[in-house]
A = this chain, B = another copy of it.
Amino acid sequence: MILTLLSIHLTANAATHPNLVINQQDVAAMQQAITEPGAFRHAFEVKLKQVDIGLSQPIEVPLPQDSGGGYTHEKHKSNYQQMYDTGIIYQLTGEKKYAEYVKNMLLQYAALYPELPVHPKRKNSNAGKLFWQGLNEAVWLVHTIQAYDFIYSALTPAERNTIETGAIIPVALFLSEQSPHTFNKVHNHGTWATAAVGMTGYVLNKPLWVERALYDLDLAKNGGFMRQLDELFSPDGYYNEGPYYQRYALMPFVTFAKAIEQNEPQRKIFEYRDGILLNAINTTVSLSYNKLLFPLNDAIKSKGIDTVELVNGAAIAYGLNGDPRLLDIAKQQNTILLTGDGLKVAQGLDKQQQQPFAFNSGLYRDGKRGDEGALVVMRNGKPTDQTLVYKATAQGLGHGHFDKLTWQFYDQGNEIVSDYGAARFLNIEAKSGGGYLPENTSWAKQTIAHNTLVVDETSHFNGKVKQANEHHPTIHFYEQQQNLTLASASIDSAYDDVAFKRTFALINIPQREAVITVDILKVTASQPHQYDLPVHYQGQLIDTNFDREASLTQLSTLGSANGYQHLWLLATANLAQDNPNDTLARVTWLNDNGRFYSHSTLVSTNGKHQQMLFTQLGANDPNMNLRQQPAFIYRVEASNHTFVSVLEPHGEYNPAKEFTLGATSNIAALTHHQQAELSAVHIRFTDGEQYLLAINHSEQALTEQPRSVININGVQYPFNGRAQLLGPLNTDSFD
């Protein structure tokens, strides 16, 4: 190890302060900017006022006692934020009182920290001392080391020594040498720890700490920041836990990377792995709808692109590449950072240089090599256009949900077919101490909480994380055309006997001003099973085209385990088994956005027992932790079955202006055809117009030449490439 150390380039430059996210040039530019009107000076004035209020109050560094949301927890959080803010105000104004305040708080931490045992409320293996979780301790140091860097030059050597030996070094050692498991872990907790320790290494001129942060405690490259960059993001910048944790994880990634760039530009950290960090920032922003991140896996649904992590990410990215579309995001974030990059953003916005950030369809591959499934997003460019999210990703470790091949749908600003997200009230003490609720495991993670297939009332992989982490879906194709986006994926490992393949198409029919979703879910098994396909809809049920038998005076749970124990069964419909022709089971609801949505599913004629169940969440919930959301579940008893469904937004309910238009579905009939690798969904609208969505499921790459011909009722329909929407068809017949 000693040999290794000697071979390190000792490039950390302790002579200039500050030199982490903000350097001396940045400070000079910012000092100039606050003398001129504009967004930056405004942000400075607001922050100055806040900081001055802080200065008027006594410093309090309490003995750690409370868990998340509790007093001491929140106080230590606000302390590091206040040290950071006050430090930057010192840099911008040069007024000693600000440095003095930060120094005094740091001295209190230096007096407190050495005596602290591990936190009394610690809950998991990664305990902290100031906080119940070591994670919070790392966040504390990421902020505090920057604050210390800001006031470094204002301190005497003796003061520095007291603060470093009392607080900063012990915290850094606690996070690294004394917590090797977390520090070396390729996981966001590891990223916070390595960022904290690495940045401390730069400020304290301890190059070993930087190297350990980059390459793990033993410099063995089994963990550390570089390994995290290699493994935690896919080549498309997708983070395996999903956008909610991606946003959170971004903060230490971009912060530490920026510090590396300032101190050791020769590492070209932002170019690493084809610019994986900028890619990840862009991907996180893209994985949002109407400013909110897609709630995949454990995700609190109110998190959006305006969170502080993405404000940082967008600013740092803009500082590097000057992409004017990032200014569009910055404008929506409505927060200007007091950093060099924040200044560039402010100047760009002052000059109104922003260009619309395009929310386009895309395939975001999962897995460090991009071969572990993918997240597919189908959308039309504007932030509130119809958006279909098709989740064919890998499990996403401990925060993953058992929801292979699930989907979500958004329209006109709202969730239409939704995902529950996480069952958690962040930092509310009365709700399981602000952590994940028991219902996160018993409901939110279970398959039935999502819009995908549940076999025999058991969750995918039997709800076992270890097993789930070993498997992922196979992506068959992703195809994007002018008015048609498709993707197909399958998985045969979620259940022992059952494989399923799901193909989604988002179809724009401009001449009808219609955007519809086609969903083909083909299930195969050797034995008969019970298949449940839920749709968690957002809105008020308006109508169904079949009779429902409602439970009027008593409710019971739908099942007893795997999430089913949380569902009240409101109504049941037995769908006809012996129709002469296939029919549609249609459910229409009204969303708060004032639009109607009809979900039409093919009811097949093959004598299978088919039901539609209407449920509401909330059973077995003694603490009323769950939201009372509705769903309908299509249930089929079969061994092989293909679910074919269409979701159609239509009409408008406008009680303010007293009109209602198009409250009923425009889809009259569907049929589904399968001929070897070819399949087709035939759609007839109520006005008689007919369309055919023809798809070639071949595993080969396909050219754009006509090469497939599907035969329907004796008529040959040739089509191009992977898929085509044919129509309006020139035919009077409907099979």
Binding site for B on A (CB under 8 A): 69, 74, 77, 300, 302-304, 306-308, 425-431, 434, 540-543, 548, 550, 552-557, 565, 568, 570-571, 588, 590, 614, 616, 618-622, 624, 627-628, 630, 653, 655-661, 663-664
Contacts and interface: CB of A to CB of B under 8 A. Distances in A.
A304 B657 CA distance: 10
A590 B425 contact: yes
B430 A74 contact: no
A653 to B, nearest CB: 7
**Copies of this chain assembled into the complex:** 2
9 contacts: A302-B656, A426-B653, A426-B655, A428-B542, A431-B542, A540-B627, A554-B557, A555-B555, A571-B624
A426 B624 contact: no
A563 to B, nearest CB: 14
B552 A620 contact: yes
Contact of A426 (B77, B430, B658): B658
A656 B300 CA distance: 9
A397 to B, nearest CB: 21
A482 B630 CA distance: 46
Contacts of A653: 425-428
Given A542-B431, A590-B428, A553 B655 contact: no
Q: Which of A308, A540, A548 has the most CB of B within 10 A?
A: A540
Nearest to A651: B428
A657 B427 CA distance: 11
Contact of A656 (B306, B614, B661, B663): B306
Given A302-B655, A614-B624, A663 B552 contact: no
A117 to B, nearest CB: 26
A666 to B, nearest CB: 14
Contacts of A656: 302-304, 306-307
A430 B555 contact: no
A306 B657 CA distance: 9
Nearest to A426: B655
Contacts of A550: 621-622, 624
B622 A552 contact: yes
A570 B624 contact: yes
A664 to B, nearest CB: 7
A559 to B, nearest CB: 11
A543 B302 CA distance: 21
Nearest to A434: B660
B542 A553 contact: no
A619 B655 contact: no
B427 A659 contact: yes
A53 to B, nearest CB: 15
B620 A74 contact: no
Nearest to A292: B656
A2 B563 CA distance: 80
Nearest to A626: B540
A555 B618 CA distance: 11
B619 A553 contact: yes
B542 A430 contact: yes
A554 B542 CA distance: 26
A657 to B, nearest CB: 7
A627 B590 CA distance: 12
A561 to B, nearest CB: 12
Contacts of A429: 663-664
B616 A308 contact: no
Contacts of A300: 655
Nearest to A543: B430
Contacts of A552: 619-622
A428 B590 CA distance: 10
Contacts of A556: 553-554
A663 B540 contact: no
Contact of A425 (B302, B431, B542, B624): B542
A308 B659 CA distance: 12
A426 B657 CA distance: 10
A550 to B, nearest CB: 4
